Amino acid sequence: MSGSGKGILKGLGITLKHFIETYTVDRKEGKNRYFTEEGILSRRTPDTKGVFTVQYPEEKAPLPEAFRYIPFLVYDVGEDGNRDIRCTSCGICAKVCPPQCIWITRRTDEETGKPMKEPSQFMIDVDICMNCGLCAEYCPFEAIRMDHDYEIANVDRMKHHIFDLEKLLKPASYYKAIRPVQVEREEAEKREKEAKKEAARAAAAAAKAKKDAENNS
Amino acid sequence: MAMDEINKAGVTIPPELQGQIAITTLDKIYNWSRSNSLWPMMFGLACCAIEMIITAASRYDFSRFGMEVMRPSPRQADIMIVSGTVTKKMVPQIVRLYNQMSEPRYVLAMGACASGGGPFKEGYNVVSGIDKFIPVDIYIPGCPPTPQALLHGLIIMQKKIERQKLSDADWYKKDVDNEIPVPILGPDLIDPRKYALIKEQTHKPAFQVVEEVQNGDE
């Protein structure tokens, strides 16, 4: 029968259940629910009961891997410990950026004056950035990626929020730590590409050998 | 615990009196109480307002920092959270609300649009950052900032307040007028005082305008 208000009662019942469970679970588990490693982990599961507050500065809500905030630049650590910046300053990210918040200057060789494949300046105005992730999506060198760090509020926009190369550069190990699944996928794609290339090369070599054999006979 | 935080006046307390007296400076106790009772003004502008609402709700709950009462009146508010895109039509109202807030007052620019215009920074109807009009204390990047990012911004705000000094506070000085003139922006913002003129111009038949332009050229 419609109009009997059953639906409302059912909905309110769910709210009431949450309300009661908030107390019963808190009484049962006590303070272990907050501030302890197990408590935070148990609250991450989908079958958590009751409502709770994330006690923000002490504990932080878990971030999904695909969470994106401000972009950062990935660098590999070379064998002799120096930074090997992946960015080649091709400028694709600056072109696709919808709010146009990326500025890149290409480095030129001091002796020959020829442009080099690395940036001398890379700036992102994080107060313009809209966290869309298009730069990371389009980057062909896996050089620019979206960060998880959201604690960057500050008092002066011009002094603190125009991120330069030093502020943007983060090691590849950090990238792997925050986005393990994505790194795994990218590496698998790279391996597949390599394998395809290798197969094509082998096939070409075989065809050539066959042709040579036919010509000789 | 709170006692330990404010009791740092640089005076050593004799051991027999420890835990019985507290020596502090007026600045510290004044800022401690002020920074822990920041009342935000309740107004939202765009999508960032949704995140602000979540921050106020039970999951993140900024009443834990003494911000529980969002005041709908600027007279009772301490901090203005500019949460979202500021259109040119909204700027006069925001500046007027800022003028109506009582000192000490703070402004927090939440999100890309309020801080620097964001994706609309060169838009015809959006101002590129509220800081062009009113002094902003904290900028929070993000589009929109997550509730935790907003909480982080508010904590930075509290820290900033704790560093202020009564002796050089603007709002206790004489002859300091912080009133900001309410802006009337460019030709693309409709000025209510010129409705008659705008109506006269826009209601002219097109050929008449063409004639006027041609006559003007001669």
- Per-residue pLDDT of chain A in tens (217 residues, 90 and over written 9): 567 889 999 999 998 998 898 888 888 877 777 767 677 667 767 777 777 788 888 888 778 889 999 999 999 988 888 888 999 999 899 999 998 899 998 998 888 888 888 899 999 999 999 999 999 999 998 899 999 999 999 998 888 899 999 999 999 999 999 999 999 999 999 999 999 999 999 999 999 888 888 887 7
Residues B62 and B151 in one domain: yes
Q: Where are the domains of chain A?
A: 1-60, 71-178
Mutate to test the interface with A, among B47, B126, B143 (most CBs of A within 10 A): B143
Residues B30 and B62 in one domain: no
What mean pLDDT is predicted for residues B207-217? 60
Structural domain harbouring B7 = 1-35
Size of interface A-B (CB pairs under 8 A): 96
**Burial class of residue B146 (count of CB atoms within 10 Å of its CB; 0-12, 13-18, 19+):** buried
**Among A89-103, B23-37, B142-156, which stretch is predicted with the lowest mean pLDDT?**
B23-37
**Residue B200 pLDDT exceeds 90:** no
Handedness of CA A84, A137, B51, A51 (dihedral sign): negative
Contact call for A150 and B112, based on CB within 8 A: no
Q: Which chain B residues are Cβ-neighbours of A147 within 8 angstroms?
A: none
Number of domains within chain B: 2
Contact call for A161 and B148, based on CB within 8 A: no
At B111, which amino acid appears?
Answer: G
Contact call for A53 and B145, based on CB within 8 A: no
Q: Quick check: is B198 in a domain?
A: no
At residue B49, the pLDDT reads 92
**Residue B130 pLDDT exceeds 50:** yes
What mean pLDDT is predicted for residues B167-188? 75
Contact call for A157 and B151, based on CB within 8 A: no
pTM of the full predicted structure?
A: 0.80
Q: How far is A7 from chain B (nearest CA, A)?
A: 25
Q: Under 8 Å CB-to-CB from B198, ≥6 apart: which residues? A: B190
Residues B66 and B151 in one domain: yes
- The pairing of beta strand A83-85 with beta strand A71-77: antiparallel
Q: What is the pLDDT of residues B89-126, one digit of tens each?
A: 888 889 999 999 988 899 999 999 999 888 888 777 88
* Domain A71-178 CATH class label: alpha beta
At residue B218, the pLDDT reads 46
Q: Quick check: is B92 in a domain?
A: yes
What interface predicted TM-score (ipTM) does this complex get?
0.82
Residues B18 and B63 in one domain: no
Q: How confident is the model at residue B1 (pLDDT cuts 50, 70, 90)?
A: very low
Contact call for A155 and B151, based on CB within 8 A: no
Q: Quick check: is B71 in a domain?
A: yes
Q: Which chain B residues are Cβ-neighbours of A61 within 8 angstroms?
A: 148
What mean pLDDT is predicted for residues B130-149? 91
Residues B58 and B135 in one domain: yes
Q: How far is B205 from chain A (nearest CA, A)?
A: 39
Q: Is A62 on the interface with B (CB under 8 A)?
A: no
Q: Quick check: is B186 in a domain?
A: no
The CATH number that applies at residue B104 is: 3.40.50.12280
At residue B216, the pLDDT reads 60
Is the N-terminal amide bond of A71 cis, ω within 30° of 0? no
Q: Is A56 on the interface with B (CB under 8 A)?
A: yes
Residues B12 and B72 in one domain: no
At residue B174, the pLDDT reads 78
Residues B56 and B150 in one domain: yes
Q: Is A126 on the interface with B (CB under 8 A)?
A: yes
Mutate to test the interface with A, among B59, B138, B139, B160 (most CBs of A within 10 A): B139
